[in-house]
Amino acid sequence: HLVTGSLSLDMRSLSAGIYLVKVEAGDYSATQKLAVQK
């Protein structure tokens, strides 16, 4: 079962750095690393 989609995040208030973003929907869970550069 393949699920695709997109997610928009407003990151203007975040400081530069590495963040972990976790998305949960029902039984599905995914964590991705996000790098913010300013």
Coil, strand or helix: which one is 30? strand
* Locus of tokens 């976790």: 22
Q: What is the mean pLDDT of residues 25-38?
A: 92
Average predicted confidence (pLDDT) for the chain:
90
pLDDT class for 20, splitting at 50, 70, 90?
A: very high
Position 28 scores a pLDDT of 87
pTM of the complete model:
0.63
Contacts of 35 (CB under 8 A, 6+ apart): 17, 18, 19
pLDDT over threshold 90, residue 6: no
Position 17 scores a pLDDT of 97
